Amino acid sequence: MLSPGKTSFAFALSTLTALLVTACGGSVSDTPSDPSKGGAVSLHGIVYGASDTSVPSGAGVPITMMGQMRALFDLIKKAPDFTQVVMDLGDGSPVHVLDTNTGDKFLPGKLALGLSYILIDMKTKGDPKYADYLATYQKITTAMMTQMHGADYVYANTSWGEYYYLVALNNFKAHGMLNEVFSDAMLTTLQNRLNFCDMFGADASGKTNTCPVAGVPIDVASLNTAQNYYAVSYGIAGLRQKLGWSNPSFSSKTDPTVATMGARDALLYTLTNHIRNDSSGGFSDEASNTHTTYYDQARFDRYSTLLIGEVTERTLEMGNEANLTPELKSYLRKSVDLILPQLNADGQGFNYGRSIGPYGDSAFMEVLTAAANAGVLTAQEMQVAYSFIYKAAYRFDTFWYDPSLPTPSVNMWVKGRGTDTYRGKPRVMGENFSLLHQFMYVNAWWDKLGFGSKAPMSDTDLQAWLDARPHYTLTWYNLPGDTAHPYSAALVTVRDGKRVINLNLSQAPDYNSYTPYYPTPFSDKLIYGTTDLGYALLIPQVTYNGKTYIPVTYYKNLSVQENNGQVVVSFDTTKFRQAAKNATYATDIDLQVHTVLTFDHGSMTRTDTLSSATLTGNMAVETDFTSFADFQNTTANSDGFSVKYANSNATSYGATGFDSCALSNFEMAAGVTNPLSTTPIGQLHSKFACTTLPFALTAGSQRTLGWTLKYADPS
């Protein structure tokens, strides 16, 4: 973080920008005043493009993000009935993406915001087709926000959807278009409907709550969803206030200070307390609202790092810079310090935890952009951040976006890819809009920071900066000695040339049965988890008394050392958990494992030493390695305990301490794609499973198992 009392170029620039934006009534999602100034090989060139939003010469992408947004608008516009719009991803099951039962409760807000970019752009340029597109926009938004009867609406639009809608309204207002796009009656409907009340109160079943009668405050502790939704409600309150709309008031049974604040500031105050109290390392514990004791908290993942970036961006967006305190900036810097060691020249973001894929990449981008605007980056870090974000945008357009699909779209669902059930394929339209919005608003900020026409750092210079990073970084979520959180929770990041390897130790009580939360090293195109599913991915999975147990919480004694170029990580797991979502702690078994992971150039080795003082029956252990390498080019060695790979990042894998191993096709099961094999970045093809015969662990005895994975530099 910047030294106290020093003013960097980045801080001065971001402060000046904030003043200019505030003075001009601007919004972080505004389109640039002169789109033609964006350089071809620049973030602006990929996101916005040339003056007509086409791909500039030399940009190297199939379509700009504004082009994608226009294509989606045209897809909706040409349909006689927009509720029947179909997106076909080529897997034999096209989706009615604007049906009322897509499961996307944010859809009206996503459409209102996504399509607003096109309307604003057309209006700014005096496009003769503007009136026609405006009529389509008005038809869709009116229908989606219409009541069927009583308080029920044709479409749900909760939390994030309300926030997205309010961003659109504020952007229209900044361009003098609000009353042209929306009638007075529609604005009254939106003022009544776009609030945060659905996130508070006793109703956690999904039914939309109504705000209390005037003068009756909401209990700030009655949030009925995950803690990070305080940030969504904060954004809603702030953007309502920016429009001149009133907010319900808050109260608190435990902190009367809340009642003295307006809703916007009460929610920011509550958010700050969440980060301050639920993680001594300054990160957001995403399990703390439903799990209240030290042993069943500590889900640290993408959102634990991203939340403070969102809070910062919302604060700037609503013009609340005065409340961006040094404490909040210090939390933002902690997220920056977790991200910088993971940066790469390919634009890849988080590779562990839930809701990653393109959102893993954009999370890095959003945090770094917030940090650039908050003045917590050095001038060189600004250049590096911009260059990474350019790479992430290029990756989105050339990897995540697939123009070869029957309906060109972001792809998180087909061709071997899989994502969380939360982001299921029926939400494909909304996911396109929300991801494109993230790049649009980030690009607008960098335009305002003076980078609109700038090329990123050269690949050579960027890689040189990356190569100068430490060989490993240890980031604590809960600091050692924190008696309220006695189990180790931390991220270890190892850099081996261009390869970034993450080992995330997180209790994750509601997700620890899923592979992305295992204490397993994850690295792009080498080791990846499968969303919402579990199997013995590089951990000792134990079968005991007919049930399966895994070492996925209760970490102690974490140590990270570097010796002679090797990074050695060791930790103890004091109990094994039943391999089931939300398994009760009463089902834990008294089984311990001492784990040592050794990272060397081109290889990683793990040993697990099992012991127990009380277990009496026999147990068996399985450990699997699943590879992206083609199955037909994978060869099991004659020793029976190792395998060779061709044409892949993995070159060989071998296990020790097991009784037998078997190589099998992991991609197909019973003639269909094996759901365990679809990772966020693509298809796993083979499994090498090593198992023991049943054995007993008597008091004082041990059993040591291990594996070694060798790999090439990233391709």
What SS3 state is found at 154? coil
Read off the pLDDT of each residue in 221-239 and give the average, rounded to a whole number. 92
Region of 96 on the Ramachandran plot (φ > 0 left; ψ -120 to 50 alpha; else beta): beta
Read off the pLDDT of each residue in 214-241 and give the average, rounded to a whole number. 91
φ, ψ dihedrals at 596, nearest 5°: -130, 120
Q: Given a cut of 50, is residue 7 above it in pLDDT?
A: no
Read off the pLDDT of each residue in 267-293 and give the average, rounded to a whole number. 81
To the nearest 10 degrees (0 to 180), the angle between helices 326-339 and 302-317 is 130
- Residue 509: half-sphere exposure toward Cβ, Cα within 13 Å: 19
Q: Which helix (H) or strand (E) holds 208?
A: none
For residue 433, which of 114, 72, 162, 136 has the smallest C-alpha distance? 114
The 10 Å CB-count burial string (b at 16+, else e) for 364-375 is: bbbbbbbbbbbb
Q: Given a cut of 80, is residue 443 above it in pLDDT?
A: yes
Mean pLDDT of the chain: 90
Question: From residue 254, how far is each of 258, 270, 609 by CA, in Å?
Answer: 9, 12, 46
| pLDDT attached to residue 39 | 65
What SS3 state is found at 635? strand
Residue given tokens 């990474």 in the structure block: 388
For residue 158, which of 92, 216, 117, 205 has the smallest C-alpha distance? 205
Read off the pLDDT of each residue in 558-569 and give the average, rounded to a whole number. 96
Read off the pLDDT of each residue in 450-477 and give the average, rounded to a whole number. 95
Q: What are 469-501's pLDDT values in tens digits? A: 999 999 999 888 888 888 999 999 999 999 999
What fold characterizes domain 470-711? Answer: Beta-galactosidase; Chain A, domain 5 (2.70.98)
DSSP states of 4-46 as a string?
TT---HHHHHHHHHHHHHHHTT--TTPPPS-GGGS-SSSHHHH
Cβ distance 538 to 625 under 8 Å?
Answer: yes
To the nearest 10 degrees (0 to 180), the angle between helices 263-278 and 302-317 is 150
| pLDDT attached to residue 670 | 79
Mean pLDDT lowest for which of 24-33, 244-253, 651-660? 24-33
Length of the chain: 715
Q: What are 150-179's pLDDT values in tens digits? A: 667 889 899 999 999 999 999 999 999 999
What SS3 state is found at 202? coil
Q: Which helix (H) or strand (E) holds 606?
A: strand 603-611
| pLDDT attached to residue 286 | 78
- Residue 214 burial by Cβ neighbours in a 10 Å radius (0-12, 13-18, 19+): exposed
Residue given tokens 């009116």 in the structure block: 142
| pLDDT attached to residue 202 | 58
Q: Given a cut of 70, is residue 21 above it in pLDDT?
A: no
| pLDDT attached to residue 103 | 87
| pLDDT attached to residue 153 | 84
Q: Given a cut of 70, is residue 28 above it in pLDDT?
A: no
| pLDDT attached to residue 316 | 97
Q: Given a cut of 60, is residue 303 above it in pLDDT?
A: yes
Read off the pLDDT of each residue in 651-674 and give the average, rounded to a whole number. 94
Read off the pLDDT of each residue in 196-223 and give the average, rounded to a whole number. 76
Q: Given a cut of 80, is residue 673 above it in pLDDT?
A: yes
| pLDDT attached to residue 262 | 94
Read off the pLDDT of each residue in 398-403 and give the average, rounded to a whole number. 98
Q: Given a cut of 70, is residue 27 above it in pLDDT?
A: no
Supply 633's token pair. 């080019």
Cβ distance 275 to 308 under 8 Å?
Answer: yes
Supply 87's token pair. 């997106």
Q: What are 252-261's pLDDT values in tens digits? A: 988 999 999 9
| pLDDT attached to residue 288 | 64
Cβ distance 66 to 48 under 8 Å?
Answer: yes
Identity at 166, one-letter amino acid code: L
Strands 566-573 and 592-600: antiparallel
Distance CA 298, CA 288 (A): 7
Tabulate helix, strand, coil % of the chain (nearest 5): 40, 20, 40
Q: Given a cut of 50, is residue 616 above it in pLDDT?
A: yes
| pLDDT attached to residue 29 | 39
| pLDDT attached to residue 289 | 56
Read off the pLDDT of each residue in 196-201 and give the average, rounded to a whole number. 90
Q: Spell out the domain ranges in the chain.
A: 101-194, 470-711
Q: Given a cut of 50, is residue 699 above it in pLDDT?
A: yes
